[in-house]
């Protein structure tokens, strides 16, 4: 029997993984930079005193993202990943410039809609799937997930500084520059991936992606994951600030070490899952761990350090699931429609983000933080039941 080859990224896979992770990180940093400061910084613009208009401006990006993920994913299947990603990044830059030059919140809302219309997440993830073997794909996806987490942590520190230096307009110009950097990376750094043979399209129809049971299970999973994440963050920041006696501007001191530690703890789980080809087992164990963490949050929230530990435990599961699920989608989907499958996956993710904010806010206002924790735990248990029916990988 020949020895089993070591599960190492080839030079081409490593280059693609690093370049696409960097592209994702820079683009997401451009989005995250706005979140910590916009509600305050927008008060200097006409319409910025109206919370409804400010919320619409922030949420408009997610709305157009949800509508455009599927068309962009399908387009990348038909015309290639690179041209679709470049076009989406160009829209992102144009939208950022519109925001930078906006005289009021109304025009920022339009710019945010244009930014969101460049919905390249599915195309980028499909590009990464094309460029990596299935045996190491989860590892590559974990690099993307980790880069996003680090971008979020960096944005919490950097955003107030940039607004203090250059104001809200300068922040949007910075975001536009990050988009231009991403254009350069996508155009010249990321290696080309093999195109799907046109013959593989024969006999495969897009509706197979819509009705595939395992893809539907994975879509429900990412919907649940991001619903839980956003609903928890409706209440957790205030609990952290109260328990630790922190100002809102100091919360990055908690988030940064939590995200770094959780990423370090996530890595061996991903490597073990790939080495033993135990992706389904790792997925189920992570969902079960998520349910346990959510169930323990009411008790953990009574103290600052216990809440920080619980938050770290949450992000370990979150990061593992963020790496495993898109990797599984790319394995399960018909090869000719990986982009379309990941488009539906990212649409489910966007729907979870929106639903988590709305539902978490409603539960918190009517029944308090413990109701949010209980709802998150119940959804995780339901998700575990759905995940248990996932069939063996091909």
Number of domains observed in the structure of the chain: 2
The two most distant CA atoms of the chain are separated, in Å, by 72
Question: Quick one: pLDDT at residue 199?
Answer: 46
The answer on 325 and 210 residing in a single domain is yes
In a domain, 225, yes or no: yes
pLDDT band, very low/low/confident/very high, at 3 (cuts 50, 70, 90): very low
pLDDT in tens, 108-132: 999 989 998 988 988 998 899 888 8
In this prediction, residue 394 carries a pLDDT of 57
Please tell me the distance from the alpha carbon of residue 92 to that of residue 84, in angstroms, as a whole number. Answer: 12
pLDDT tens profile 281-297: 899 999 999 999 999 99
At which of 162, 191, 220 does a domain end?
A: 191
Confidence of residue 4 (pLDDT cuts 50, 70, 90): very low
- 286 occurs within a structural domain: yes
Non-local CB neighbours of 133 within 8 Å, separated by 6+ positions: 13
pLDDT digits (tens, 9 = 90+) for 39-54: 677 878 898 888 677 7
Q: Would you say residue 7 lies in a domain?
A: no
Contact in structure between 142 and 267 (CB atoms under 8 Å): yes
- Whether residue 115 lies inside any domain: the answer is yes
Q: Phi and psi (nearest 5°) for 3?
A: -65, 140
Residues 240 and 289 in one domain: yes
Instruction: Please state the length of the chain.
Output: 394
**123 within some domain:** yes
Q: Do 170 and 212 lie in a common domain?
A: no
Indicate whether 183 belongs to any domain. yes
Angle at 214 between CA 326 and CA 124, to 5 degrees: 20
Q: What's the CA gap between 335 and 367, in Å, rounded?
A: 46
The pTM of the whole model exceeds 0.85: no
Which of 134, 161, 191 is a domain's end point?
191
User: Is residue 33 located within the same domain as residue 155?
Assistant: yes
Distances (CA, A) of 137 to 17, 144, 275, 293, 325: 9, 11, 12, 27, 11
Q: Are 224 and 164 in the same domain?
A: no
Residues 110, 168 share a domain: yes
* pLDDT score, position 85: 94
Q: Cα separation of 260 and 83, whole Å? A: 34
> CA Rg, the chain, in Å?
21
| Tokens standing for residue 355 | 């639903």
Cβ count near 335 (within 10 Å): 15
Residues 83 and 119 in one domain: yes
Find all residues with CB under 8 Å of 175, minimum gap 6, and list them. Answer: 30, 31, 33, 34, 96, 99, 100
Domain hosting residue 391, numbered range: 206-394
161 with 212, same domain: the answer is no
**What phi and psi, each to the nearest 5 degrees, are found at residue 35?**
-60, -45
Question: Is the domain of 211 the same as that of 147?
Answer: no
Considering the domain architecture, whether residues 362 and 226 belong to the same structural domain is answered as: yes
Give per-residue pLDDT as tens, 196-254.
Answer: 544 444 555 667 777 888 999 999 999 999 889 888 877 888 888 888 887 766 777 88
Please check whether residue 236 lies inside any domain of the structure: yes
Residue of 162, 83, 97, 82 whose CA lies nearest to 130: 82
Cβ–Cβ under 8 Å, residues 359 and 374: no
Q: Averaged over 74-87, what is the pLDDT?
A: 91
Q: Is residue 310 part of a domain?
A: yes
pLDDT tens, residue by residue, 187-197:
999 888 766 54
Domain boundary among 191, 225, 251: 191
Q: Are residues 179 and 220 in the same domain?
A: no
Question: Domain containing 357 — which CATH number?
Answer: 1.20.1250.20
Domain co-membership, 28 together with 167: yes
């Amino acid at each position: 029997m020949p020895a089993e080859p070591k599960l190492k990224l080839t030079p081409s896979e490593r280059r693609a993984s690093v370049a696409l992770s960097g592209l994702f990180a820079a683009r997401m940093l451009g989005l995250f930079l706005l979140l910590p400061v916009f509600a305050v910084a927008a008060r200097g613009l006409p319409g910025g005193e109206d919370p409804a208009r400010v919320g619409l401006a922030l949420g408009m990006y997610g709305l157009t993202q949800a509508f455009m993920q599927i068309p962009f994913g399908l387009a990348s299947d038909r015309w290639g990943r690179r041209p679709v990603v470049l076009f989406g990044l160009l829209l992102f830059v144009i939208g950022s410039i519109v925001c930078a030059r906006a005289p009021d919140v109304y025009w920022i809302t339009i710019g945010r809609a244009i930014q969101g219309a460049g919905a390249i997440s599915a195309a980028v993830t499909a590009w990464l799937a094309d460029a990596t073997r299935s045996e190491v794909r989860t590892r590559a996806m974990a690099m993307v997930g980790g880069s996003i987490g680090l971008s979020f942590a960096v944005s919490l520190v950097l955003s107030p500084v940039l607004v203090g230096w250059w104001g809200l307009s300068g922040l949007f110009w910075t975001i536009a520059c990050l988009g231009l950097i991403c254009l350069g990376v996508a155009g010249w750094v990321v290696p080309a991936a093999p195109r799907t043979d046109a013959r593989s399209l024969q006999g495969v129809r897009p509706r197979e992606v819509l009705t595939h049971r395992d893809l539907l299970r994975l879509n429900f999973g990412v919907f649940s994951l991001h619903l839980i994440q956003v609903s928890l963050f409706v209440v957790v920041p205030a609990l952290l600030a109260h328990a630790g006696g922190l100002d809102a501007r100091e919360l990055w001191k908690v988030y940064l070490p939590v995200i770094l530690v959780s990423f370090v703890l996530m890595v061996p789980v991903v490597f073990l899952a790939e080495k033993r080809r135990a992706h389904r087992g790792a997925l189920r164990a992570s969902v079960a761990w998520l349910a346990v963490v959510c169930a323990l949050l009411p008790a953990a929230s009574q103290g600052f350090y216990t809440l920080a530990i619980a938050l770290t435990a949450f992000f370990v599961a979150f990061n593992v699931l963020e790496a495993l699920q898109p990797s599984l989608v790319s394995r399960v989907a018909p090869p000719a429609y990986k982009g379309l499958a990941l488009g539906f996956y990212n649409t489910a993710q966007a729907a979870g983000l929106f639903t988590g904010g709305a539902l978490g806010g409603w539960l918190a206002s009517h029944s308090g933080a413990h109701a949010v924790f209980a709802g998150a735990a119940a959804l995780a248990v339901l998700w575990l039941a759905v995940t248990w029916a996932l069939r063996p990988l091909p």
